[in-house]
Amino acid sequence: MAILDDDYTYISPEDQSGLHPTPRVNATWISTGKWAVFLSVLGFIIVGFIALLSVAAGTVIKTFTSLLSAQYPLLEVIKPLLDYLALLMLPILTVFFFIYYYHIRFASGIQKALRYNDQALFAASWRNLRNYFRIYGIVMIIFVVLYLVVMILALGMEGVAQPVSPLD
């Protein structure tokens, strides 16, 4: 069976302190940095669109709830929250802004570190990637827990949200 990545370089025992990336590894890191810049810029754009949509959606949903509140009395309970939809989205969007902020700091840092052969900047960029994954992981755990709570509440409120029949 052939080795998939056979780009190894012999390092003498006296030079074995630290990492010694090969040119192929450097090229992979540069490519990773470019993709990380692209994905983080895309993330910033998505956060901006969600911020705009949350402001617009609040007014649209509020209009629909006023039209349908006679059929669905539960909407009267939710209606005051819709007035503050943009403010409710602000903490979530702030967290996602910082997620993409750490991602772009990693991307630009890894590119500069490889360009200027700067070990301190290289280490700092990997710390930014660690922070990116740390915050992202925490957010995903929170979303999974909230999803489970909403599902349990929805199953518990199954009979409450039935429309009111005009014949009753």
| Residues 75, 77, 79: CA angle, nearest 5 degrees | 65
> Count of alpha carbons within 13 Å of 43, Cβ hemisphere only?
20
Q: Alpha helix locations (H) across 11-84?
A: 23-68, 74-82
Q: Tell me the per-residue pLDDT of 56-90, one tens digit each, with 9 for 90 and over.
A: 877 777 777 777 766 777 777 777 777 677 788 88
Kindly indicate the confidence band of residue 2, based on its pLDDT and cuts at 50, 70 and 90: very low
Listed as own residue / partner, the contacts of 63-70 with beta carbons closer than 8 Å and 24 or more positions apart are 70/164
Kindly indicate the confidence band of residue 3, based on its pLDDT and cuts at 50, 70 and 90: very low
pLDDT surpassing 60 at residue 1: no
Least reliable range by pLDDT among 4-13, 14-23, 49-58, 156-165:
4-13
